[in-house]
Amino acid sequence: MRWVSGMRAQTVELAKRWLTNKGGNVAIVFSLALLPMAAAGGGALDLARAENVRDRMQQAADTGALEAMVLRRQTDAVRVQSATDLTRNNLADFNDLTDFSIAVSVSSTDATVDISTAIPTNFLGLVGINTIEPEVTATARVTPGDVLPICVLALNLTEDRGIEASGGSSFYAENCIVHVNSNNDEAVNFSGGGSLNSGENCFVGGVKQGLERMTPAPTPDCAVIEDPFYSHYRPVVGPCDHDEEVRVSGHETFDLYPGTYCGGLNVSSADNVIFHPGVYVIVGEFRSTGGSRMEGEEVSFFLTGEDAGLEWSGGGEYYFTAPQDGPMRSMLVMLDPDEPNIGDRSHLSGGAGTYYEGNIYLPNQHLTVSGGGITSNPSPYTALVADTFTYSGGSTLLVTVDPNASETPVSRELYASANQRIVLVN
């Protein structure tokens, strides 16, 4: 550094003048003065070295904080460990400094890395300064305005009509993102007066009809979002608690309990069906028709096997909330993403009495909402993920994801928008 070189040159020049001076006490005075002079000159080297280490610490902290945010869909423990390991690796070449203190804290929207150390001095110790102790911090954050969760995600990469609405259907996605992965020029089609209002509309492909009825206008240059729940925990199937299809109907109250329903589940014209808390593994189709009423708190339905899917229709009333903890936390309905023999579509329909709190995940299936389905869903947290979607019959779909209002924890995976930008804020 220039100022270090200048100080060193001045010190050497001063020493030469003192050593050539023949005055009686000059040698003694010089020997006494040499110690602070050495501390001053050498101290500049200590400070330069400390500044170099501090710069590397800051770079390591910045990289670690960004790493923790890139992994924001992972668990907090994974994010903290990964950021800590990366930060420490970036400081590994300072072999004589092995006591770096690294602290990582994370949340769904930001991550902070703090680093401190004590650097032994070589010259400043002559004047009582034995260590220099730099501290740095770095915080990475998803940019304000982009911290919106996904509430509707169409996974198919090429299909036309990845999302389609007709017959005057209205779609409201309050404070959340509607995302369509298809790169087709006709990936989105809102015909017959259909409208779309959301926190953000993000389409990889184009809009065939209805662009003028979309608020806000689609975000340009959207990228594909991978299936956010593909790696989610999947319940073990079997042994069977019910070998054949379970049929429920009638004008009384029916109690159903968690277990494996190997022949599917068929609810028809049932006045009141209560699902007790837990996980229901349904091998086959889950049908509800004839205006049935079903309810269950902290329940999860895992659909697998031949013809697996949902058929909730016939003007029924449905009140379901997903588990608040455990391996199926927040997952209300999950279709096995690796089951090769599933049905090709699922159907949600009902009246104003529908309430779904949690994720409805139907990969590799077309989801249809029709006949006034979900006309006034008061749930603070409904997220729909399917291969493709259709809204028809004048239905009004109202969904939102509000982590401040929902008792069910919002899945981290829903904050996976490809358009979020991670920035360092300090």
SS (H, E, C) the chain: CHHHHHHHHHHHHHHHHHHHCCCCCHHHHHHHHHHHHHHHHHHHHHHHHHHHHHHHHHHHHHHHHHHHHHCCCCCHHHHHHHHHHHHHHCCCCCCCCCCCEEEEEECCCEEEEEEECCEECCCHHHHCCCEECCEEEEEEEECCCCCCCEEEEECCCCCCCCEEECCCCEEEEEEEEEEECCCCCCCEEECCCCEEEEEEEEECCCEEECHHHEECCCECCCCCCCCCCCCCCCCCCCCCCECCCEEEEEEEEEEECCEEECCCEEEEEEEEEEECCEEEEEEEEEEEECCCEEEECCEEEEEEEEEEEEEECCCCEEEEECCCCCCCCCEEEEECCCCCCCCCEEEECCCCCEEEEEEEEEEEEEEEECCCCCCCCCCCEEEEEEEEEEECCCCEEEEEECCCCCCCCCCHHHCCCCCCCEEECC
Tens of each residue's pLDDT in the chain, 426 residues? 333 344 444 444 433 443 344 444 444 444 444 455 555 566 688 888 888 899 999 999 999 999 998 787 677 888 999 999 999 999 887 766 668 999 999 987 889 999 999 988 887 877 788 888 999 999 998 765 557 899 999 999 999 999 998 877 888 998 899 999 999 999 999 988 889 999 999 999 999 999 999 999 998 888 888 899 999 999 999 899 999 999 999 999 999 999 999 999 999 999 999 999 999 999 999 999 888 899 999 999 999 999 999 998 867 889 999 999 999 999 999 999 999 989 889 998 755 678 899 999 999 999 988 755 454 557 899 999 999 998 876 767 788 999 889 999 999 889 866 555 678 887
**The overall pTM is greater than 0.75:** no
